[in-house]
Amino acid sequence: MELKFWGVRGSIPAPGPATVRYGGNTACVSLRPSSKGLIVLDCGTGARNLGITLMEGAFGKGAGEASILLSHAHWDHIQGFPFFVPLYQPGNKFHIFGGAKSSSMLEGILEGQMAPQYFPVQTLKNMGASIDIVAIAEGEPFEVERCQVRARTNPHGRAGAMAFRIEDAGRVVVYASDAGYGAAGPPAASLELYRGADVLIHDSTYTPEDGRRYADRGYSSVEDAVGAAVAAGVKRLVLFHYDQDYNDTEVDALCARGRRLLDERGGRDIELVGAVEGSTLTV
Ligand SMILES: [Zn+2]
Whether the per-residue pLDDT at 122 is higher than 80: the answer is: no
Strand partners, 239: 202, 274
CA–centroid distance, residue 75 to ligand 1 (Å): 7
CA–centroid distance, residue 90 to ligand 1 (Å): 30
Length of the chain equals: 283
Contact 170, 196 (CB under 8 A): no
- Helix, strand, or coil here: 181? coil
Sign of the alpha-carbon dihedral angle for 25, 28, 32, 33 = positive
CA–centroid distance, residue 216 to ligand 1 (Å): 14
pLDDT, residue 258, reads: 98
pLDDT digits (tens, 9 = 90+) for 1-23: 999 999 999 999 999 999 999 99
pLDDT digits (tens, 9 = 90+) for 130-178: 999 999 989 899 999 999 999 999 999 988 999 999 999 999 999 999 9
CA–centroid distance, residue 198 to ligand 1 (Å): 23
Reduced to 3 DSSP states, what percent helix, strand and coil does the chain have, rounded to the nearest 5?
30, 30, 40
Contact 50, 6 (CB under 8 A): yes
**What confidence category does residue 93 fall into, taking pLDDT thresholds of 50, 70 and 90?**
very high
Sheet holding 236-240, edge to edge: 142-144, 147-154, 161-168, 171-176, 199-203, 236-240, 271-274
CA atoms within 13 Å, Cβ hemisphere of 32: 9
**What confidence category does residue 125 fall into, taking pLDDT thresholds of 50, 70 and 90?**
confident
CA–centroid distance, residue 61 to ligand 1 (Å): 32
CA–centroid distance, residue 126 to ligand 1 (Å): 27
CA–centroid distance, residue 35 to ligand 1 (Å): 29
CA–centroid distance, residue 135 to ligand 1 (Å): 19
pLDDT digits (tens, 9 = 90+) for 204-238: 999 999 999 999 999 999 999 999 999 999 999 99
Instruction: Collect all residues with Cβ–Cβ distance below 8 Å to 54 and sequence separation of at least 6.
Output: 38, 60, 64, 66, 85, 86
CA–centroid distance, residue 60 to ligand 1 (Å): 29
Distance set, CA 238 to CA 101, 122, 152 (Å): 30, 36, 19
CA–centroid distance, residue 127 to ligand 1 (Å): 25
CA atoms within 13 Å, Cβ hemisphere of 192: 8
CA–centroid distance, residue 283 to ligand 1 (Å): 24
Q: Where do the DSSP E strands lie in 43-185?
A: 65-70, 93-98, 130-135, 142-144, 147-154, 161-168, 171-176
Between CA 55 and CA 256 the distance in angstroms is: 37
CA–centroid distance, residue 51 to ligand 1 (Å): 20
pLDDT, residue 123, reads: 82
CA terminus-to-terminus distance, the chain: 5
pLDDT, residue 11, reads: 97
CA–centroid distance, residue 184 to ligand 1 (Å): 21
